[in-house]
Amino acid sequence: MKIVERRFVRQVPVSEAVGWWNQWDHEHTMVVHGESWLEGRLLYEDERTCIAFVTIRVPIFSFLTSTAMNVNLKYDAHTMYTINLGLFGIPSITKITIEEDPPDHITHRTTYTFFLRGWRRLLAPLLPSMMARWNERVWQEDLPLKLRRQKMLRHGFRDFVGMPEKIADRRYDGPLECRLPIKRLPDSPIEKDRLLG
Amino acid sequence: MALQRFPLCRRDELERSRVVTRWLDDLRDEVTAVLLDGRIIARSSVCPHFAGEFAVDLAARRFRCKWHAWEFDIESGRCVSNGFKGCLRRYETEEQDGVIAVLYEG
C-alpha cells in the first residue's frame, strides 16, 4: 500500500473556540463553499462524533463529483479526525489540530493521509496538488467567517441572540467556548435530512 | 441616558449606492442603512444566528446571511426563512448637514 501525506500549517488571530466552531458548523458548508461542496446529509451527531454523506466537486477535475462518507471524531480538546471513504474509493484520514497561544491566536494544522492500493497508486502524484488546491480554497473562503465571528464574540455577541442591547455590554474579555454539537434550529435543512436518530 | 449620535455616512453616498454598511467603533455594532422608498432604514447587520455578514437584496427587500442563508425582512427586521423568532435591532437615524447619523441610547 502506498501512503500519501500532505500537511498544511496556518496561523490566524482567532480563539480556539472559533476555530472549532468553523470545523463543526456543518450548515455553512453548502452556502460558503457551495462551489465545491454540493451536498451534505447528516446521518448522526453527538458531542464528539458526526457522520455525514457529502458530495464535493473534485479539485482540478471539476467536471467530476465525488460522494463520500465522512466520520468526524473530536479526539481530544485540540484534535479531530475525519475518516473519509469516497474520492475514487480511496480511504483517507484528515487530522486537524488547533492550538491557541497566545490567547485569540491559533496554529491550525491539517494533515491529509491517503491510503492507496492497486490502480489507485497511479493517483499518488496528483493528490498533493489536489489537496493543496482544496485546502487553499476552503481556507480562504472560511477565513472571513472566523475573523468576523471572533470580532463579534469579543463585542459580546451571543448565538441566536445577537449583539447586547447596551453599548457598555458590547465588550467581552472572558473565555470563549465551542460546545458540540453546534446548536441548530429544528427546521435547519441539515436537520431535515438527518437519516439516523 | 441621553441619545448619542453616531455618524454613519453622507447622504449622497447612500443615495448613490442605496446601501451602506459600516462598523461603528463607538456604537460597537455593524449598521446597514438602506434607502427604501425614500426612507432610511438602519439596522444592526450582525446576523443573530452566528454573527454572519449580510448581502442586501433591495428588490426582495431582504437581508440574506452569507454564511447560512438566513433571510430577514428589511422593514420589519423579522426572520422570514425559518422559525427564528428574534428580530434585527433597528436604529433611529437623523440627518444633519448631509451626514446621516445613528441615534442610540444604549
pLDDT digits (tens, 9 = 90+) for B69-83: 999 999 999 999 999
Q: Mean per-residue pLDDT for A170-196? A: 87
pLDDT of A193:
65
pTM for this prediction? 0.95
Q: Mean per-residue pLDDT for B31-35? A: 98
pLDDT digits (tens, 9 = 90+) for A104-137: 999 999 999 999 999 999 999 999 999 999 999 9
Nearest to B67 among A145, A163, A171 (CB): A145
Which residue of B lies nearest to A155 if distances are taken between CA atoms? Answer: B28
Percent of chain A clearing pLDDT 90 (strictly above): 81
pLDDT of A39:
87
Nearest to A157 among B46, B67, B68 (CB): B46
Q: Mean per-residue pLDDT for B32-56? A: 97
Look at strands A49-57 and A37-45 and give their pairing: antiparallel
How big, in percent rounded to 5, are the helix, strand and coil portions of chain A?
A: 30, 35, 35
Residue whose C-alpha cell is 475525519:
A82
Q: Mean per-residue pLDDT for A160-177? A: 97
Q: Mean per-residue pLDDT for A161-185? A: 96
What is the residue-averaged pLDDT of chain A? Answer: 94
The total of other beta-carbon atoms located within 10 Å of residue A126's CB is 13
Q: Mean per-residue pLDDT for A143-162? A: 98
Q: B45 in helix, strand or coil?
A: coil
**Using CA of residue A29, residue B83, residue B45, residue A17, what is the dihedral sign?**
negative
**Cell representation of residue B61:** 427587500
Q: Mean per-residue pLDDT for A18-38? A: 94
Percent of chain B clearing pLDDT 90 (strictly above): 97
Check pLDDT > 80 for residue A191.
no
Q: Mean per-residue pLDDT for A182-193? A: 81
Q: Among B1, B26, B29, B53, pick the best mutation site for testing chain A contact (most A Cβ within 10 A).
A: B29
Residues of chain B positioned with their CB less than 8 A from the CB of A147: none
Please name the residues in contact with B25: beta carbons below 8 A apart, sequence gap of 6 or more.
Answer: none
Q: Mean per-residue pLDDT for A56-67? A: 89
DSSP for A33-71 reads TTTTEEEEEEEEE-SSEEEEEEEEEPSS-TT-EEEEEEE
Answer whether A163 sits within 8 Å of B66, measured CB to CB.
no
pLDDT of A86:
81
pLDDT of A188:
83
pLDDT of B66:
98
